[in-house]
A and B are shown apart, each in its own frame.
Chain A
Amino acid sequence: EAGVTQFPSHSVIEKGQTVTLRCDPISGHDNLYWYRRVMGKEIKFLLHFVKESKQDESGMPNNRFLAERTGGTYSTLKVQPAELEDSGVYFCASSQVRNPYEQYFGPGTRLTVT
């Protein structure tokens, strides 16, 4: 069974540019999450989808971040315009509805904003 995949693995952009991250969850997992780890800090929750619906977006830092999950399959996280403090590793995770806390993480996208 394929795990959670993320693209790209690395992205280096300049301040003010736009970046879109993609996550493909494990097949059959209705729950999809985005988390972020900035340097020196703990991994922090950003938001949670159940299928195509945003269930909880309490962790989204500001309106420069936009997440979508059209069709309830893969998800994208767009940062526009990017700021220096957005640098970090963005993890996607997925889980089944019947066992929501057993979350499987993707390898992450390492974003560097210069």
Chain B
Amino acid sequence: RKEVEQDPGPFNVPEGATVAFNCTYSNSASQSFFWYRQDCRKEPKLLMSVYSSGNEDGRFTAQLNRASQYISLLIRDSKLSDSATYLCVVPPFTGGGNKLTFGTGTQLKVEL
């Protein structure tokens, strides 16, 4: 089983819609998680971190379900500018160094 798994999409949604992506992880010892955003041919940029039950930042909400080992990203009132690939990222558990483990990403396309 892959360490981090995501549905690659694409998710095509109309502007204003609410969309959610899930990401499953295999290491039950993982304590924190990140969502990164990557625009086409650009670098990944940190979007949100999830340390406990969840995190909310404006239209974006990230939640963690430890029992089922998945994290989710919810985007409300989608904008055209939200079109990007969303990467689920898992840091190592304590003592495992600093390397980040990336999922393959979920592609979102917001349309008029």
Closest to B103 in A: A42
- The distance in angstroms between the C-alpha atoms of A100 and B45, with both chains bound, is 15
Complex interface: chain A residues within 8 A of B44 (CB)? 43, 91, 105
**Which residue of the partner chain, among B4, B101, B104, B105, contacts A45 with CB atoms under 8 Å?**
B101
Structural contact, B98 and A44, CB atoms closer than 8 A: no
- The A81-104 residues at the B interface (CB cut-off 8 A) are 91, 95, 100-104
Complex interface: chain B residues within 8 A of A42 (CB): 4, 102-105
- By secondary structure, the B interface counts as loop
Chain A residues with CB under 8 Å of B42's CB are 107
A104–B43 alpha-carbon span in the complex (Å): 9
Please report the total number of A residues contacting B with Cβ < 8 Å.
25
A33 close to B (CB within 8 Å): yes
Q: A56-B97, A105-B45, A106-B43 are known contacts. Are A44 and B102 too (CB-CB below 8 A)?
A: yes
Check A101 against B34 for contact (C-beta < 8 Å).
yes
Cβ A95 vs Cβ B98 within 8 A: yes
Cβ of A25 under 8 Å from chain B: no
* Min CB–CB distance A103 → chain B (angstroms): 6
> Which residues of B are found within 8 Å of A56, using beta-carbon distances?
97-99
B66 → chain A, closest Cβ, in Å? Answer: 18
A108 touching B98, Cβ below 8 Å = no
Residue from B46, B99, B102, B103 having most chain A Cβ neighbours under 10 A: B99
